[in-house]
Structure formats: structure tokens, C-alpha cells
Amino acid sequence: MEFTANLIAGLVGGKVEGDGNITVNTFAKIEEGHPGALSFLANPKYTHYIYDTKSSIVLVADSFVAEKPVKATLIRVADPYETISELMTKVAEATAQHPTGIEEPSFVAADAQIGQNCYVGAFAYVAGGAVIGNNVKIYPQAYVGAGVTIGDDTVIYPGVKIYKGCKIGRGCILHAGVVIGADGFGFAPKPDGSYHKIPQMGIVEIGDDVEIGANTTVDRATMGATRVGHGTKLDNLIQVAHNCEIGSDTVIAAQSGMAGSSKIGSNCMVGGQVGVAGHIAIGDRTGIGAQSGIHKSLPDDSRVMGYPAIPLGDFMRQAARLRRLDNLFDDVANLKKQKQ
């Protein structure tokens, strides 16, 4: 599929500078541009690439001012990052494959309910009592347990495991290796030093439009439900423990972990490798820097970083002072010499 600069500008409400009839058929990073590619410039750190990029078209901000000639055709838009995202979404939707039907060999229980236009890939397993909505795609080697419900338009990629009774909303994407509803880490110590396993009797409830990255795990509740709210996005390799609750439209980066019964609010942003202690609550619209350790509850609109986490401004000041620590030791050593 090829698109002219004029056509793209019309789709996104942009303004063309250069050859409006030049065509593109793929996307490329601005530093790896090549003829026929569409790139974008959003981060000022990449501005120098625009003068040498071989991409045919580059999306730039309305405010962009070139310091020297640019070979590529430019399309000016309000937000290049948002615009490239919209264009990539349109292309992905137009070129996406939509398999349907039940492949063999696979297993679908006689009492499982399968909606219209669904796909069940080879070696997938759908247990009794499962309810699968319309347009759901279940790729090969996925497991859907007894009594699981999956909403319309959800995609279950290869190797996903959804344990019994769990509920997945509409329009969700579960990437390869995701495990929903494994037992929570519940063990009671016994007088002899061994541990008694506490049965995990609850479920997991995933809201609509949730995306969960590869090899992320969301444990079932001891009782009640572990919940992930509408629109929330979880990266790869995240652990969500039993009875945790995550609000709506929150994003959590890779290798983060939530201990049991902790709560994260809505519209939060959590960096990679963040650890959240159990039985605490993090307020809405909170930002947490990468590798932070959260050991106590946080109010709405917090900005924290560090281990243990402290307000972001304090962390930055401490980091600046730490960089000057060697100079302080040198100053103290010089003062000691002067006294001698």
C-alpha cells in the first residue's frame, strides 16, 4: 500500500512542505530512514537526523524551524508522536489478518459458548462452561479454563493460560505467555517451621481495553477478586499478586511487582522494576520512577522515586549532592592537612 504526502496530510489535518505527490509504503525511525519510508520527529534530541535522513516524508511539529535545508518532504502537525501513532494504528487495522473458525487439532468443550467470527487455533483448549464473545481470537496452545468469560474483540496470543472462573473484558490483548489466575502466594507458617498452603478461592477480573505484555502474571485472589481496571496497560514480566487492585488507564513498565492486597489508583505511571509492598494504597495520577521501592501508601498526584521512595524533588537533590560527595571528602582531607 502506497500513500502520497497529500493524502496523509489530508488524513491527519497536516500541512505539506515539499513534494506532495511523493509516496511512502512503510514506516522507519528517522535515523534509519530510507526512500519510501515515513518517519517522525518529536524528541528534540533527534533533530539533527532530519537534515540527513533518507526517509521520503517526515512528520514534524507546527513549531519546527529548520536551521538548514531538509531533503525530505515535511508534514506539519500539532503532535507528531500522536499523529504517527494514529497512522500506524490505521495501517495495522487495514493490513491485519482476521482468522476465523476452529482449527484441528484443538479442544472446545461441548458446553463452551463460542461467539460469532471467533478463531480457536490448533492445540488450543477451551474448557467446559467457558463463554467466549464475538470476534475473539484464541491463538494456538492457549488454555481457557472452566467457566472463564472473555469479552468481544479480545485477542489471546499463543501460550496464554487463563485459569478457571476468571473474567476478561472486551477489546483486551493478552500477549504470549501471560498467566491469569494462578494461585496467589498464600502460605501459613506452622509450629514445626513448615508451611500450610492457603487455598486461593477467588478469581481475576480484567476490565475492557486492557493490554498485558508477554510473561506477565496476575494471580487469583485468596477470596474475592484481583482486579485490573479498564484501559490499563501492563508491560512484559510484571507480577500482580493476589487481591491486588489496579485502577483504570494506569500504565506499568516491565519487571515491576505488586505484593498481595496492594492497590494502585487510576491514571498512574509506574516505571520499570518498581516494587510495591503489600497492603498499601497508591493514589490516582501518581508517577513512580524506575527501580523505586514503595513501602507506604501515597496520596493522589504524588511524584516519587528511590528506595525507599521519596518525593521526586528530594531524590533529585540527593542525587546531585551524591555526585559531589568525592569533592566533599577531598575538602575534608585538605582541611585536616591544613590543621596538621
pLDDT digits (tens, 9 = 90+) for 132-142: 999 999 999 99
Tell me which residues are annotated as active site: 242
Specify the pLDDT at position 324. 83
Query: Average pLDDT for residues 49-65, to the nearest whole number?
Result: 96
In angstroms, the CA 184 to CA 69 distance is: 60
Strand partners, 163: none
Q: CB-hemisphere CA count at 13 Å for 28? A: 20
Average the pLDDT over each of 89-98, 204-213, 255-264 and give the range with the smallest value. 89-98
The arithmetic mean of pLDDT across residues 69-93, rounded, is: 94
Nearest to 204 by CA among 188, 223, 187, 231: 223
Percent share of the chain, pLDDT over 70: 100
pLDDT average, residue stretch 318-333: 84
CA 77 vs CA 64, 68, 70, 303: distances in Å: 10, 20, 17, 31
Quick one: cell of 179? 498467566
- Please name which of 227, 176, 182, 220 lies closest in space to residue 202, comparing C-alpha atoms: 220
Place of cell 487510576: 266
**Which three cell numbers mark 62?**
507546527
Q: Going by C-beta distance under 8 Å and a sequence separation of 6 or more, which residues neighbour residue 309?
A: 288, 289, 292, 293, 294, 295, 298
**pLDDT of 328:** 84
Q: What is the 3-state secondary structure (H, E, C) of 265-285?
A: CCCCEECCCCEECCCCEECCC
Question: pLDDT category, 95, cuts 50, 70, 90?
Answer: confident
* Residue 126: Cβ within 10 Å count: 26
Contact status, residue 216 vs residue 200, Cβ threshold 8 Å: no
277 contact partners, CB below 8 Å, separation of at least 6 = 259, 262, 293, 294, 295, 296
pLDDT confidence of residue 69? 93
Q: What is the mean pLDDT of residues 35-57?
A: 96
Query: How many CB atoms lie under 10 A from the CB of residue 100?
Result: 11
**What is the residue type of 317?**
R
Residue predicted with more confidence, 326 or 209: 209
Q: Give the gyration radius of the chain's Cα atoms.
A: 26
Q: What is the pLDDT of residue 330?
A: 83
Instruction: Express each pLDDT in 239-259 by its tens digit.
Output: 999 999 999 999 999 999 999
- C-beta separation of 236 from 218 below 8 A: no
Assess whether pLDDT exceeds 80 at residue 339: no
Q: What are 175-215's pLDDT values in tens digits?
A: 999 999 999 999 999 999 999 999 999 999 999 999 999 99
pLDDT at 15 (0 to 100): 96
What is the rounded average pLDDT for all residues in the chain?
95
Cis (ω within 30 of 0) for the bond into 105? yes
Q: State the chain's maximal CA–CA distance in angstroms.
A: 91
- Residue 93: predicted pLDDT: 84
Contact 176, 157 (CB under 8 A): yes
Rounded mean pLDDT, 221-243 = 98
Give the pLDDT confidence score for residue 333 in this predicted structure. Answer: 84
Least confident of 40-54, 109-123, 147-161, 321-335: 321-335
- Quickly state the pLDDT bin for 322 (edges 50, 70, 90): confident
If you average pLDDT over residues 98-122, what whole number do you get? 96
Residues in a beta bridge with 239: 217, 257
| 117 has pLDDT over 80 | yes
Query: Which one, of 163, 132, 130, 133, lies nearest residue 147 by Cα?
Result: 130
Cβ atoms of 174 and 160 within 8 Å: the answer is: yes
